[in-house]
Amino acid sequence: MKNVATLALSMLGVLVLSQSQHGWKRINKVKVSGFAWENCGTPEAAVVLETLRVSPDPFTIPGDVTASASGTTSVELRAPLNVNITLEKEVMGFWVKIPCLLDLGSCHYPDICDILNQMIPPGQDCPEPLHTYGLPCRCPFKSGSYALPQSNFFLPFVDVPSWLSNGDYRVQGILGDGVEELSCLKLALSLQWE
């Protein structure tokens, strides 16, 4: 059993290292299935995702998806907010941690508020449907409850690291303020390139 785990780790390592030099690839079409989520924080976590629904299952990228979500935060979320991501892929029955490559994988992001400001510069309206429902898209996020009613989104073509391949993945994200853990969320999904 130990030898199989070592072989799985070695195979993933060779795959990641050999493909990391190739940079990014364009998604022509990928099918995403088996999407699931769960909170993994403590019962007294400051930030809790209460609902998250995504349909259809499977959905494709590029393509249309319908989503709704709700959650609460008992504290104001302001910069700096750090996030630790752990990305794992199932290889031969074992979950193998993917290292941080090209700023994706198991990475530490010291301030997601800064990332949000780069994506949606201050002074610019939040994208739809957030704007319609009065939901914020950058820090600070006031304490309280947030809800996104069922909304339609178009998921466009994107470039992804060349090492991202078919298979089952799980992601854990831990949100912190530099002093304590504020939230923990786990996601699971399968990717199939078409």
| Each residue's pLDDT tens digit, 90-100 | 999 999 999 99
Q: Report the chain's terminal Cα–Cα distance, integer Å.
A: 33
CB atoms inside a 10 Å sphere around CB 175 = 21
Residues 6+ apart with CB under 8 A from 31: 58, 59, 60, 191, 192, 193, 194
Q: Phi and psi dihedrals of 130, rounded to 5? A: -55, -45
Q: Residue 25: what pLDDT?
A: 66
5 has a pLDDT exceeding 90: no
Q: Which helix (H) or strand (E) holds 136?
A: none
Query: In sequence order, what DSSP letters do the residues of 102-115 get, joined into one string?
Result: TTBSB-EES-HHHH
- What CATH number is given to the structural domain containing 67? 2.70.220.10
Residue 33 CA: distances (Å) to CA of 8, 96, 106, 116: 23, 20, 21, 27
Q: Residue 36: what pLDDT?
A: 97
| Each residue's pLDDT tens digit, 106-158 | 999 999 999 999 999 999 999 999 999 999 999 999 999 999 999 999 998 77
Q: Phi and psi dihedrals of 43, rounded to 5? A: -60, -25
pLDDT bracket for residue 23 (50, 70, 90) = low
Distance CA 192, CA 4 (A): 24
168 has a pLDDT exceeding 90: yes
49 has a pLDDT exceeding 90: yes
Q: Residue 173: what pLDDT?
A: 98
Q: Residue 6: what pLDDT?
A: 38
Q: Residue 93: what pLDDT?
A: 94
Distance CA 177, CA 185 (A): 16
| Chain mean pLDDT for the chain | 87
| Residues of the domain holding 123 | 2-193
Total number of domains constituting the chain: 1
On whether the CB atoms of residues 106 and 168 are closer than 8 A, the answer is no
